[in-house]
Structure 1
Amino acid sequence: MPDVIFPLDSTKTFTQQQLTGHNRWHPDIPPVATVKPGESFRVHCREWFDGDIHNDDSADDIRDAPLDKVHCLSGPFAVEGAKPGDLLIVDILDLGPIPLEEGPLAGQGWGYTGIFAKKNGGGFLTDQFPDAYKAVWDFTGHTATSRHVPHVSFTGIMHPGLMGTAPSHDLLTTWNTREAALIATDPERVPPLALPPQPKDAVLGSLEGADYDRVAAEAARTAPPRENGGNQDIKNLSRGSRVFYPVFVDGANLSVGDLHFSQGDGEITFCGAIEMGGFIDLRVDLIKGGMETYGVSENAIFMPGNVEPQYSEWLAFSGTSVTLDGEQRYLDSHLSYQRACLHAIDYLTTFGYSPEQAYLLLGAAPIEGRLSGVVDVPNACATVYLPTAIFDFPLAPTANGPTRIDPGMGAPRSSF
């Protein structure tokens, strides 16, 4: 087992640990450790809400989830010899939940998926699902099942939802400027168009005093993916993946967190993956001057891992860029994927699931989302592929009609 360079004590909160990570992006957050090219190491990661979501049958914790606190990131880790313009190679060697059969924190034998309320983050289908719901998933080896979404069982593609390098000061200014301009177009929108710097609840490693105050006022939130990688939520960044990150600061300052037991393409409920705490084993290396050599001026490129469930039969749903009220949009692939997801949800309800259970399932299970047509004006076409083997009943249409299942207790809804 590689040496643990960022240990976590499950009985303590993120800020009570021996080493303090961070939940904002800024080049002046000091690294917690330095590693050498070619070195392998293990990192422990907190679940992204630091234990605020519970293994129970209430969604009030999702409704009240403190978005200013996320994401709890382990790091930064400096890489010896890394300079701006290099490419940082990151190999994902292994990852998994905290190795305990049960416990109070997500990752200790369980994880969760949440539909976020429109007033607190929203989601891909927030207009159709404005309230908070939750599903708790139990882990048996690599398999996930849920009392809140019964009759399904699937192998998770475990992966870090968030990993990336630190931005330079210039890149940070670019982020804040362009996102502020977007917010200004509709500053009262719910949910907001973007999240500006927020000093409240900022965790900035070992920074204190005036340095903390300055950085907290400038540091970027970790919610979106950006040029440094960040919160890309790519389910195929699994074991065996190799990622090439642009380096913007001396040392690269790599950070990682937001581990997922499983996820469907798009993480559509916003907290759409099965969130967990756990460990990840990484190996790093450098390609000197690699950004210019390979034309990677921004955004990571990667080689997907070779460890994933082998589903061979699928039921696919398509959607086009026409709104629910019949308005035609021009090649709107975002809308077409929404419509494909809604068609899949409608289909699953014919078997007995509630719309919320179906929505949670699409976020958590290893569904495939694809842009199937982007040139046939005016309609873009997107598709959602459901692996049929995850269900314990026949999913395909037949002349006999859908098999009705017992939906169980349903997905817990938040109180008002």
Structure 2
Amino acid sequence: MVLSLAPTTMAPLPPVPAAARAVPGHNRWHPDIPGVAEVITGGSVRLECEGRPPGGEPVLCGPIVVIGAEAGDVIVVDVLGVGPPGGHPVPTGHPGVIGCAPAPHAVHTPSDAAPGGPAGAEGALLGRVRPGLAGYDQVAAQAVPTAARGREVGGCGIAPLTAGSRILLPVHARGAKLSVGDLHFPSRGALDCRTAALPGWIDLRINLTRRGIERFGITGPMLMPDPDTA
């Protein structure tokens, strides 16, 4: 994954140079997966994400820490553009998965682990929490795969978040820890997310709303897709 941070902008961010800092992706969710960058409310970020073969688990970019975000808040994420590596924005491009880290109490407990080793260790990618590092086994055992989170995360299984779309995401852990990935570039009118995801970039603008869960009664992602593709 390659990322670039920039001030708020209404236009997609410029291409990220090859020398930009690369960081590992993740295919599990856990509040202890370290953030790879921070963004202030109103800021924008470009993430370059890996692809996924058919049937494979989504490899996500992030997590992005939203400064000041606490459990009970809501982040408002605007999709500014989606495109292939080094290419121009694709109008139908959209992420297959987007969401915030789960609450600490929502991850697997030690009693959930299978005998003989961590329940989620096989095939687990945990960003900067790598095998051999302190804490890897515990995080791998507790981490939750995307499929197990259900409607706690948004994505094209609900509606395609093409450029011009907005999604409201409840915050469950300090910093929100926003992750996104599994990018798709279908032909217009063919928004099927079961096909292989391709590598590419996505530009997002993020705003923080304090106590948004209580104020707006949001219990899960609230999608506002681009009306031209909804």
TM range (shorter): 0.7 to 0.9
In the alignment, is residue 305 of structure 1 matched against residue 226 of structure 2? yes
Displacement after TM superposition at 1:77 (Å): 0.3
**Aligned match of 2:98:** 163
Which structure has the higher relative contact order (CA within 8 Å, separation 6+)? Answer: 2
Q: 1:239-259, CA deviations, whole angstroms, 9 ceiling, x for partnerless residues?
A: 111110000001000000000
In the alignment, is residue 233 of structure 1 matched against residue 220 of structure 2? no
The answer to whether the Cα contact below 8 Å between 2:52 and 2:59 also exists between their aligned partners in 1 is yes
In the alignment, is residue 40 of structure 1 matched against residue 44 of structure 2? yes
- Give the distance between the partners of 1:100 and 1:237, measured in 2 at CA: 19
Change (3 A) 1:8 1:200: farther
Which amino acid is 2:43 matched to? Answer: E
- Give the distance between the partners of 1:206 and 1:274, measured in 2 at CA: 25
Query: With structure 2 as the length reference, what TM-score do the two structures score?
Result: 0.78
**Aligned match of 2:74:** 87
- Give the distance between the partners of 1:26 and 1:231, measured in 2 at CA: 18
Displacement after TM superposition at 1:210 (Å): 3.4
Among 248, 251, 255, the alignment partner of 2:172 is 248
Among 222, 230, 241, the alignment partner of 2:146 is 222
- Give the distance between the partners of 1:286 and 1:232, measured in 2 at CA: 23
Displaced runs of 4+ in structure 1, greater than 3 A?
Answer: none
**Aligned match of 1:285:** 207
In the alignment, is residue 211 of structure 1 matched against residue 135 of structure 2? yes
- Give the distance between the partners of 2:81 and 2:87, measured in 1 at CA: 17
**Aligned match of 2:26:** 22
Which amino acid is 1:91 matched to? Answer: D
Displacement after TM superposition at 1:227 (Å): 4.5
Q: 1:96-135, CA deviations, whole angstroms, 9 ceiling, x for partnerless residues?
A: 112359xxxxxxxxxxxxxxxxxxxxxxxxxxxxxxxxxx
Describe the SS at the equivalent of 1:223: helix
Describe the SS at the equivalent of 1:99: coil
Which amino acid is 2:175 matched to? Answer: G
The answer to whether the Cα contact below 8 Å between 1:238 and 1:307 also exists between their aligned partners in 2 is no
Q: 1:259-304, CA deviations, whole angstroms, 9 ceiling, x for partnerless residues?
A: 0112756x4xxx62462211100000011001011111x2100211
Alignment root-mean-square deviation, CA: 3.0
Which amino acid is 2:27 matched to? Answer: N
**Aligned match of 2:65:** 78
Length, aligned pairs only? 207
**Identity, % of aligned pairs?**
39
Which amino acid is 1:289 matched to? Answer: R
Q: Which 5+ residue runs of structure 2 have no aligned equivalent?
A: 6-15
- Give the distance between the partners of 2:119 and 2:100, measured in 1 at CA: 18
The answer to whether the Cα contact below 8 Å between 2:95 and 2:160 also exists between their aligned partners in 1 is no
The answer to whether the Cα contact below 8 Å between 1:161 and 1:235 also exists between their aligned partners in 2 is no
**Aligned match of 2:181:** 257
Displacement after TM superposition at 1:201 (Å): 2.0
- Give the distance between the partners of 1:28 and 1:164, measured in 2 at CA: 15
